[in-house]
Amino acid sequence: MRYKYRNNPILIVDHYTTIEWKVEEMIGHLVLNQPPNNSMGNLFFKEMSDLVRNVIPKEKINAILVYGKGRHFSSGAELKDLLQNVTENCPEHLDSQANEQPDLLIENLETFRFFNRMPIPVIAVITGVCLGAAFELALSCHIRICSERAVLGLPESSFNLLPGLGGVHYMLNLTSPLKTFEIVLGGHSFTSQEALAWGVVDKVLDKKVLLDYAVRFAKFLQGKYSQVYIKKQLSEFDKRNEKQCTH
């Protein structure tokens, strides 16, 4: 594993291909790094697994920001890899035993759960497209801040699949069961404004200020996390910004 510094005090782990991990001012930046779509193939999940097991636990950080390089957050799992993994990792005997899941899916699920279980705030910064597994990654974060033109959704049902990385569980915690099943079974995409109205995202802003807002909010939180605390602090942070703008 190699580390290098660029313009101290930014620490960058440079041995990944599909993601980038860097730490700046005690904030971890997880960048999905396969533009333009930042799709999630087998290598992505392997590198994410390594990151959450071998890198992040050793870091001294107060928050994590998750976002995509370029225009989009991520288009989600690469369909070819996804279907191949489901086929190869689902023996015929699983068909009659609904409680069993393939080991690979469990490993990927645990990788995303890692972020939700973090004792520090994890913030998804969503621009452009955020679909399928990418949306499940965003849902596993504690707070979601979206650009005005972001498009979100869980399209797995279009391929005769269901979300397998925690998306249904997180949706049920954020919005009504009816809306959750409408989104999951319908497979339709929706706008960030709709997501905000349903309680699925927490803030919608102009894309130009999105990442800067997330960084300042992460610093404002000072490493403290609980779901109730973050919601309250988001409101307090906005009020403080409004006061500063009026002076």
- The CATH number of residue 127's host domain is 3.90.226.10
Instruction: Note down the domain range covering 210.
Output: 3-246
| Residue-wise pLDDT tens digits, 13-70 | 778 999 999 999 999 999 999 999 999 999 999 999 999 999 999 999 999 999 999 9
What is the spatial distance between Cα 117 and Cα 131, in angstroms, rounded to a whole number? Answer: 22
63: helix, strand or coil: strand
- Inform me whether the pLDDT recorded for 232 exceeds 50: yes
Please give the average per-residue pLDDT across 177-190, as a whole number: 94
- Inform me whether the pLDDT recorded for 227 exceeds 60: yes
Per the structure, the count of domains in the chain is 1
What is the spatial distance between Cα 108 and Cα 111, in angstroms, rounded to a whole number? Answer: 5
What is the spatial distance between Cα 221 and Cα 63, in angstroms, rounded to a whole number? Answer: 8
Structure tokens at 202: 């927490």
CA dist list (Å): 170 to 25, 136, 160: 30, 8, 21
Q: DSSP letters of 99-153?
A: T---HHHHHHHHHHHHHHT-SS-EEEEE-SEEETHHHHHHHHSSEEEEETT-EEE
What is the spatial distance between Cα 121 and Cα 73, in angstroms, rounded to a whole number? Answer: 19
Exposure string for 207-241, b = 16+ CB within 10 A, e = fewer: beebbebbbebbebbeeebeeeebeebbeebeeee
Q: What is the DSSP letter of 92?
A: G
What is the spatial distance between Cα 242 and Cα 170, in angstroms, rounded to a whole number? Answer: 31
Higher-pLDDT residue of 162, 101:
162
* pTM of the predicted protein model: 0.88
| Residue-wise pLDDT tens digits, 119-158 | 999 999 999 999 999 999 999 999 999 999 999 999 988 8
